[in-house]
Amino acid sequence: MSEYEERLVSSDADGPEEQVIEAALRPKKLDDFIGQHRVREQLSLVLHSALRRGRTPDHVLLSGGPGLGKTTLAMIIAAELGAPLRISSGPAIERAGDLAAILSTLSEGEVLFLDEIHRMARPAEEMLYMAMEDFRVDVVVGKGPGATAIPLDIAPFTLVGATTRAGMLPGPLRDRFGFVAHMDFYDPGELEVIVKRSAGLLDVEIAPDGAAEVAGRSRGTPRIANRLLRRVRDYAEVRADGVITKDLARSALTLYEVDERGLDRLDRAVLASLMRKFGGGPVGLSTLAVSVGEEPETVEVVAEPFLVRQGLLARTPRGRIATPAAWAHLGLTPPPSSPMAALFEIDDGADEER
Ligand SMILES: Nc1ncnc2c1ncn2[C@@H]1O[C@H](COP(=O)(O)OP(=O)(O)OP(=O)(O)O)[C@@H](O)[C@H]1O
């Protein structure tokens, strides 16, 4: 097992126990949903005009990274419409029949939330096209030349699809969504509001600068903000009087090895190795991964996106390089011969040397 396995700053969902707490922290109304102003305003118009016309709203596609609030928003959509919500996900729909079973039992106006919609099986996807457009599916009975398609009407419903990979969605599916919302990372001010709100719900006392400290280390992601808050709360209860101040949040997060920019041990190990062992690069992904005792995929998928987003690491055709900001962040000085010239060849495409 990797020594970096348990990541406090992972944006992936938690285990079942933590998910219960996460659910309790979800805002229930559009007005309580913090940040994403443009998405919120546009969505509010879509929903309220449909309500006014007494029709089901257009299908909604939510795209954005894990932990940014897609499930929360789907629940809010159903609540705002006063409609029941059915939840499923792309990977759970392995055959067209799985989807037909869901669609044929929807009640009128129901909201169907399909998480990870880009991972749905192809035949199901094709069935979904017709369902979205005409509220009808063709159920195929029998096999081979004798197979017949029986058309089946389904109740008008609203599909809310969520995807972390909007680019992987086939055009015909994407085009059938009347409203596509792209969810961005949150800025520190918005995360601070989220942290304060969650602290209130968890009955934890937090000073404004304590909330800012947690927010600043949360990698633009509400799920991480809420998780860090819970760990800082533990620390405050055991080591202090339960109140989260700035100093306390700093001490707690230092203990948990999450630094001021939200980097954890793996992130820093990647940067430190790149700088200390390879003079800042360029170095190939596999070599870099071996140097930190990780699989190349872990370094590429887990650590790199955030480091690139932070401007600390760059992918170039000749390999990975540490940027001047990375040297500064780790308090190291680049060697005089450091090939910073490679910076001028930065390539942000994903098809660089592996
Ligand atoms: N805008 C927001 N305001 C307040 N809390 C939020 C907001 N967005 C997300 N959260 C909180 O962050 C947590 C994660 O959100 P959610 O499960 O909706 O993310 P997600 O995008 O669906 O993630 P995944 O793609 O992994 O399913 C929830 O506990 C939710 O309360």
CATH number for the domain spanning 210: value is 1.10.8.60
Tell me what the mean pLDDT of segment 231-260 comes to.
Answer: 95
In 3-state terms, what secondary structure has residue 172?
Answer: helix
Which atom of ligand 1 sits closest to the CA of residue 197? 4
**227 annotated among ligand-binding-site residues:** no
CATH number for the domain spanning 331: value is 1.10.10.10
What order of strands is seen across the sheet that includes strand 85-89? 85-89, 111-115, 158-163, 60-63, 179-182
Q: Is 221 considered catalytic here?
A: no
Domain assignment present for residue 267? The answer is no
What are the CA-CA distances from residue 160 to residues 9, 70, 96, 256 (Å)?
Answer: 27, 9, 18, 36
**134 annotated among ligand-binding-site residues:** yes
Residue 322 structure tokens? 């540490």
Q: Is 28 considered catalytic here?
A: no
Q: What is the pLDDT of residue 7?
A: 78
The pick from 17, 20, 68 for probing ligand 1's pocket by mutation, whose C-beta has the most ligand atoms within 8 angstroms, reads: 68
Domain assignment present for residue 216? The answer is yes
Contact indicator for 207, 93 with CB cutoff of 8 Å: no
Domain assignment present for residue 232? The answer is yes
Q: Residue 332: CB partners within 8 Å, gap ≥ 6?
A: 272, 275, 276
**135 annotated among ligand-binding-site residues:** yes
0.80 surpassed by pTM: yes
Q: Is 287 considered catalytic here?
A: no
Residue that wins the pLDDT comparison between 166 and 134: 134
Q: Out of 56, 71, 158, 298, which one is annotated catalytic?
A: 71
Q: What is the pLDDT of residue 9?
A: 82
Total Cβ atoms within 10 A of residue 349: 7
Rounded Cα distance between 187 and 206, Å, is 19
Would you say residue 16 has pLDDT above 80? no
Q: Are residues 241 and 336 in the same domain?
A: no
Confidence of residue 304 (pLDDT cuts 50, 70, 90): very high
Q: Out of 115, 196, 219, 267, which one is annotated catalytic?
A: 115
Q: Are residues 56 and 76 in the same domain?
A: yes
Domain assignment present for residue 344? The answer is yes
Q: Are residues 249 and 283 in the same domain?
A: no
Would you give the DSSP letter of residue 345?
G
Q: Scan for tokens 């989220």, then name that residue.
A: 194
**67 annotated among ligand-binding-site residues:** yes
Q: Are residues 292 and 320 in the same domain?
A: yes
Question: Quick one: which H or E segment has residue 89?
Answer: strand 85-89
* Predicted confidence (pLDDT) per residue in 264-281, tens digit: 999 999 999 999 999 998
Which atom of ligand 1 sits closest to the CA of residue 32? 3
Contact indicator for 318, 353 with CB cutoff of 8 Å: yes
The pick from 7, 18, 26, 193 for probing ligand 1's pocket by mutation, whose C-beta has the most ligand atoms within 8 angstroms, reads: 26
Q: How many domains does the chain contain in total?
A: 3
Q: What is the pLDDT of residue 342?
A: 47
Q: What is the pLDDT of residue 337?
A: 67
Domain assignment present for residue 265? The answer is no
Residue 80 structure tokens? 């705002």
Residue 255 structure tokens? 């203990």
Domain assignment present for residue 266? The answer is no
Q: Are residues 309 and 167 in the same domain?
A: no
* Predicted confidence (pLDDT) per residue in 43-97, tens digit: 999 999 999 999 999 999 999 988 999 999 999 999 999 999 999 999 999 999 9
Q: Are residues 133 and 225 in the same domain?
A: no
Domain assignment present for residue 102? The answer is yes
The pick from 14, 72, 119 for probing ligand 1's pocket by mutation, whose C-beta has the most ligand atoms within 8 angstroms, reads: 72
User: 228: domain range?
Assistant: 188-255
Q: Are residues 73 and 145 in the same domain?
A: yes
CATH number for the domain spanning 109: value is 3.40.50.300
Residue that wins the pLDDT comparison between 241 and 139: 241
Would you say residue 182 has pLDDT above 90? yes
Q: Are residues 142 and 172 in the same domain?
A: yes
In this structure, the residues whose C-beta lies within 6 A of any atom of ligand 1 are 13, 22, 25-27, 33-35, 66-72, 115, 164, 194, 222-223, 226
Which atom of ligand 1 sits closest to the CA of residue 11? 26
Confidence of residue 13 (pLDDT cuts 50, 70, 90): confident
Domain assignment present for residue 268? The answer is no
Q: Are residues 59 and 21 in the same domain?
A: yes
Residue 225 structure tokens? 């903000």
* Predicted confidence (pLDDT) per residue in 104-145, tens digit: 999 999 999 999 999 999 999 999 999 999 999 988 888 888
Mean pLDDT for all residues in the chain: 90
Q: Are residues 340 and 288 in the same domain?
A: yes
Q: Are residues 86 and 20 in the same domain?
A: yes
Tell me what the mean pLDDT of segment 205-217 comes to.
Answer: 97
Handedness of CA 233, 235, 237, 240 (dihedral sign): negative
Q: Are residues 47 and 154 in the same domain?
A: yes
DSSP per position, 240-307: SSS-B-HHHHHHHHHHTT--TTS--HHHHHHHHHHHHTTTT--B-HHHHHHHTT--HHHIIIIIHHHH
